[in-house]
Chains A and B, each alone.
Chain A
């Protein structure tokens, strides 16, 4: 174990996999000479050379399409999107090609590629660069979607993504890059997809979340414990597709109450999926409707004060918990 930042954990994962498998390569805008806008790829061009660390033109559809072709022929490309917002340009390559090739080829051709990059709000990047895409991608069969909430999971999930057979959308939280945590050193440490975990044990209410909202939920849980004597169980989903709700269901059977927390807008979001699935699986165990804590339904403002108002906070989680416990 070593203390690492979320940013370094991601770089370690890529470098370990590049050391392990010569077919792994990375490509993206300004990742080589400039060493990455968020400095995720610092030092990598020097170490692996321009054949495996490829600076691309500003052409996301081209990057993604190139990666699809590389993956079909046996390489394992990892494409960095400067932010996931730019990957919208590449949506056709991702959703209509990467996600469909195995199906169209009757299972003959895999597309083992990773599209990774930061998303989400909290760093004043305004309306076009602060969006969250988990529900957008997780809607489609044929791709996997990871959204790690800790440095260890960022490393373990990214290594699983690189080693796998599937196209993976790897959603990093821009606001978590500096966050530090214990990360295993073992080069074979991986975190499997579709395996949620109990991030904090509790008895009174279940909070289901992922990515940055996981960290916020954990903070809210601590405050709930101190201020309200409410012990919240916090579930970390880790991947949205495949989605493992078993620990959440089990938890709700115990606590009878649930709050689902997401950063993105409320309509058709991950929290809605969580709420609906829990209601289907554990209806008779619920003592209150599953509450959703989400971002405000507006384009993300640039101004710091407005951005804070538009994103979910501990307070919102605490209020929602009190509502489902009929304490408010």
Chain B
């Protein structure tokens, strides 16, 4: 008798042969699993419906076989191989094979045991049970109140362990998490303070080329460039929580500054006028967003460049910045790695500096000075809550960027910093 590809539901038109348990010529007993097939919903075993010898294995492992087509035959005693290769049209037997089918996809096996006489119903059941686990993995169960509390605390539910039925996150979990949330905050500082020197010596340090260049360029900057400064205070509670989650999930090492780089680059897309250079004849707006990142080296400051930062993911930016900073410290940067920035970010948060002003890195027309994220009591909905805040000061070249333009940019930047999920998409 023939073994055909069964129809396991109205929508099924073909199935895949995963593997054969029996070889051609091997003796099989009724009930023996012959092969495993895969449908769009489940994997399942087809069993032998009679004793005999497996023959005419026409479907190879990995092959897609239309419903109703022959997979092999079981030859009874005396029967010969060489049954007609072509089977009759599908209508002939559009599966009534439930009794001979056992599901191999473990957890669903019971739910979709095919005892019911109608295919439609089994199809419906399959759809249900298959869909459920997906929903579970993509969504944490939580009570509406817990969601409301988490959102007003700026806490992500992903970080909270639920204590309710089926892991549901309930109000008390958010409350507990909120009170212990400080423990999750990344420490400020992180850098060891310089050790005190035993004796102070008088000495003259010859100007290195680098120090000369720094001096020249910064003097050029504050001299001819009419600076002005805009300071804002961003809420980074969500950003810190997202960073922690990403680093846990992705096993990555994304710094707060990497978030700022991406946020700054994306915000530039809204305000290309801050991504520009001053010229005596014209203001040049740049076609690329290349973010210079101020890196401190023993020799002094250098700003390696993350090119097209708006088109790179957080992880790409993190990896690139780490590599560039390493090279900078070893003085291995190639010129193209620190030239042609269009916008610069300087971050002294790691030193615990809360707020500072930076000097524009010409020919850029703006620089962001990023302070440390610190926990602050703030008033939300007439209640004092503890939030993480970070001060950002933007220095602008007034010849190109007017006050309102700078303020607009910072407002857009706020959206990216305070709603950091925007940085993931």
Contacts and interface: CB of A to CB of B under 8 A. Distances in A.
B146 A287 contact: yes
A285 B147 CA distance: 10
B144 A285 contact: yes
Contacts of B144: 283-287
Given A256-B171, A326-B170, A326-B172, A287 B145 contact: yes
Contacts of A276: none
B163 interface: yes
Indicate the size class of the contact surface on chain B: 10 to 19
Interface residues of A, number: 8
A256 B163 contact: no
B145 A284 contact: yes
A230 to B, nearest CB: 14
B312 interface: no
Contact of A285 (B145, B163, B164, B165): B145
A256 B175 CA distance: 14
A288 interface: yes
B332 interface: no
Interface in B142-159: 143-148
A97 to B, nearest CB: 44
Contacts of A326: 163-165, 170, 172
B171 A287 contact: yes
Interface in A251-285: 256, 283-285
Contacts of A284: 144-145, 147-148
Q: Which among A285, A287, A288 has the highest number of chain B CB atoms within 10 Å?
A: A287
Contacts of A287: 143-146, 170-171
Contacts of B172: 326
Contacts of A288: 143, 164, 170
Interface of A: 256, 283-288, 326
Given A286-B144, A287-B146, A288-B143, 20 more contacts: A256-B145, A256-B171, A283-B144, A284-B145, A284-B147, A285-B144, A285-B145, A286-B143, A286-B145, A287-B143, A287-B144, A287-B145, A287-B170, A287-B171, A288-B164, A288-B170, A326-B163, A326-B164, A326-B165, A326-B170
23 contacts: A256-B145, A256-B171, A283-B144, A284-B147, A284-B148, A285-B144, A285-B145, A285-B148, A286-B143, A286-B144, A287-B143, A287-B144, A287-B145, A287-B146, A287-B170, A287-B171, A288-B143, A288-B164, A326-B163, A326-B164, A326-B165, A326-B170, A326-B172
